[in-house]
Amino acid sequence: MRAFDFAVARTVPEALARGGAGTAYLAGGTTLVDLMKLEVLTPRHVVDINHLPLRGVHADRDGLHVGALERMSDVADHPLVAHPYPVISQALRASASPQLRNMASIGGNLLQRTRCGYYRDTATACNRRTPGSGCAAIGGENRGHAILGTSDACVAAHPSDLAVALVALDASVLLTGRAGTRELRLADLYRLPGETPHLEHDLRPGELIARVTVPPLDWARRSAYLKVRDRTSYEFALASAAVAVSLRGGLVRDVRVAVGGVGTRPWRLPAVEEALRGRAPRPEVVEAAAERAVAGARPLAHNAFKLTLLRRTITRALLSLTE
């Protein structure tokens, strides 16, 4: 690990004053410390933000608000989350391990780095880690990589389960920086890799996620997160689906579908949603709608199985709510 200096911030202005290029904020540390040990990330300054007043879970007429420093396990079990928004709770419980969920923060989860093995191996080419060096995954081992939103520079899948659930629910993040605060749809925070995969999101230098807000959606009680992976614990998704359905008179009044494990960012599927609205959610209707999920997909040498897996994951998740 490279040498760095360390400070503890007690207030948001103090943290922001220390933030900027060369500085990393430390919350749970479950991604940052790993990557510093591997010398994938080499910040010169680390600022501990765990004492900032960015905690709390509450609900009001604007929706559900979750402080960015809340721990994943606490949010998963919170009654304001678990009952009104099961998709969030299930996505959190499907993430990592109990020990990691006790440590990891909500903000940190949303900003976690890709699990592409080449990104973490400094002996290999990786445009995301070292811009312009190439992408070892495209001609290498790419079974777990993305099929949606990829570019010739990077094909890494976005790793967060929580982000998939939040994108399905149209969540936003409150960002705070030296220039003030701003609210951004979570879906707009993440960039496609394009030619610049090292630029993963639209946070400005030194900006922090302060809070996550989920707009009111009473029918989110009928929601679910289905994650398919190689083992049932402590594993990242090969494909996942966050779904919510509102039914009226046996027909789909409204629906949300977002998927993970297959996209370079959390992937909302408006075409699938459109194919379901106003229809009776019979298996053949749901299967036909799920076909739309893979339009434009670009499978790699080892992950074409995700085309079928993704369709089946969406179908199963939706039918679990409607049958």
Give whole-number Cα distances, 276 to 199, 240, 246, 296, in Å: 35, 19, 11, 20
Count residues binding ligand SF4 (CB under 6 A). Answer: 14
Query: Which of these, 214, 132, 205, lies nearest to 170 by C-alpha position?
Result: 214
Quickly count: other Cβ atoms within 10 Å of residue 249's Cβ: 6
Q: How far is the CB of 141 from ligand SF4 (least distance, A)?
A: 10
Q: How far is the CB of 149 from ligand SF4 (least distance, A)?
A: 12
Q: Which is nearer to ligand SF4, 102 or 196 (CB)?
A: 196
In three-state secondary structure terms, 284 is helix
Q: Which is nearer to ligand SF4, 20 or 140 (CB)?
A: 140
- The number of CA neighbours under 13 Å toward the Cβ of 1 is 13
Burial of residue 318, with CB atoms counted within 10 A of its CB: 0-12 exposed, 13-18 middle, 19 or more buried: buried
Q: Which is nearer to ligand SF4, 25 or 119 (CB)?
A: 119
CB-CB contact of 117 with 88 (8 Å)? no
Q: Which of residues 114-133 bind ligand SF4 (CB under 6 A)?
A: 114, 116, 118-119, 126-128
Q: How far is the CB of 304 from ligand SF4 (least distance, A)?
A: 17
Q: How far is the CB of 77 from ligand SF4 (least distance, A)?
A: 33
Q: How far is the CB of 306 from ligand SF4 (least distance, A)?
A: 15
Q: Which is nearer to ligand SF4, 85 or 119 (CB)?
A: 119
Q: Which is nearer to ligand SF4, 84 or 197 (CB)?
A: 197
Site string for ligand SF4, 197-216 (x = CB under 6 A): x-------------------
Q: How far is the CB of 119 from ligand SF4 (least distance, A)?
A: 4
In three-state secondary structure terms, 236 is coil
Torsion angle defined by CA atoms of residues 44, 188, 239 and 272, in that order, rounded to the nearest 10 degrees: 180
Q: How far is the CB of 121 from ligand SF4 (least distance, A)?
A: 9
Q: Which is nearer to ligand SF4, 128 or 311 (CB)?
A: 128
Report which DSSP code applies to 149.
S
Q: Which is nearer to ligand SF4, 126 or 175 (CB)?
A: 126
What's 301-312 look like in SS3?
Answer: CCCCHHHHHHHH
Strands of the sheet with 267-268, listed across from one edge: 223-228, 239-248, 251-260, 267-268
Per CB under 6 A, which region of 56-64, 113-121, 220-228, 269-277 contacts ligand SF4?
Answer: 113-121
Q: Which two tokens stand for residue 86?
A: 């099961």
Q: Which of residues 128-167 bind ligand SF4 (CB under 6 A)?
A: 128, 135-137, 154-156
The Cα diameter of the chain in Å comes to 63
285-317 burial code (b ≥16 CB/10 A, e <16): bbebbbebbbeebebbeebeebbebbbbbbbbb
Q: Which is nearer to ligand SF4, 5 or 152 (CB)?
A: 152
Q: How far is the CB of 31 from ligand SF4 (least distance, A)?
A: 14
Is residue 63 part of the contact set for ligand SF4 (CB under 6 A)?
no
Q: Which is nearer to ligand SF4, 153 or 245 (CB)?
A: 153
Q: Which two tokens stand for residue 236?
A: 């990242």
**Contact residues for ligand SF4 (CB under 6 A)?**
114, 116, 118-119, 126-128, 135-137, 154-156, 197
